[in-house]
Amino acid sequence: MKIFLDTADIDEIRTAARWGVLDGVTTNPTLYAKVSGASYESILAEVCKITPGPVSAEVVAEDVEGMLREGRSFAKLAPNIVVKVPMSEEGLEAISRFAEEGIKTNCTLVFSSNQGLLAAKAGASLISPFVGRLDDINQDGMIVIRELAEMFAIHDIESEVLAASIRHPQHVTQAALAGAHIATLPFKVLQQMVHHPLTDKGIVQFRADWEKARATLASKKGD
Ligand code: G3P
């Protein structure tokens, strides 16, 4: 399973890239609002330079022509831009038009397997079910991931299932086991995946034992 960062924060993206675990990035208007201070386009251009894989940039227009205008302009920023389009009647039409133009899309705000199936048929490369937001309303978000992964395998559909709205490390494990091709994570979740209390404790213990052994050796030499 590929790991994307769900952020528009350049420092977080640089850090994950240095760790060698970054396959792509997803952004949206909410994530942009958290880091604003520069235009969305200039942040995207920077993100595209430091990200080895796809970078999703979300349109905010609600009509087809507006989505197409915004998406075409994002696509000119870098070759790894993927235009993120919300699931809607207009969104499906825009996805289909982008596919004809060779512009890759990520269909976002997917909450059911049937929505995901339609987005794939319209030509979206990435399908993003929001796991955490389904869990929030007492539905099992992981069911949509599992069903879409199975449907795409059974019918040889090339679109990839991207588990979004990931809230904690257990979601990542569950998404991988449910067959998600990609999970997009807040940086905090990526950090939580790195750490384990016994790992952190073990590192401190090894260091302490090393220092003790060196001190014993030094005192023997001094005898
Ligand atoms: O990838 C979608 C994500 O940004 C939404 O996450 O936590 O706001 O549901 P959340």
pLDDT in tens, 127-148: 999 999 999 999 999 999 999 9
Task: Assign 37 a pLDDT band (cuts: 50, 70, 90).
Answer: confident
Residue 76 DSSP SS3? coil
- How far away, in angstroms, is 165 Cα from ligand 1 center? 4
What pLDDT, on the 0 to 100 scale, is given for residue 12?
A: 97
* 36-61 mean pLDDT: 95
User: Is pTM, for the whole model, over 0.85?
Assistant: yes
Q: Report residues whose beta carbon is within 6 angstroms of any ligand 1 atom.
A: 6, 26, 28, 130, 132-133, 164-165, 167, 184
Closest residue to atom 5 of ligand 1, CA basis: 165
* Cβ neighbours, 10 Å, residue 85: 30
Domain boundaries, the chain: 2-195
CATH number attached to the domain at 2-195: 3.20.20.70
Tens of pLDDT along 160-215? Answer: 999 999 999 999 999 999 999 999 999 999 999 999 999 999 999 999 999 999 99
Nearest-CA residue for atom 9 of ligand 1 = 165
User: Looking at ligand 1, which atom is closest to the CA of residue 28?
Assistant: 4
Atom of ligand 1 nearest to the CA of 31: 4
| pLDDT mean across residues, the chain | 97
pLDDT at 77 over 80: yes
DSSP 183-222: EEE-HHHHHHHH--HHHHHHHHHHHHHHHHHHHHHHHHHT
Q: Specify whether 34 is catalytic.
A: no
**pLDDT of the residue at 159:** 98
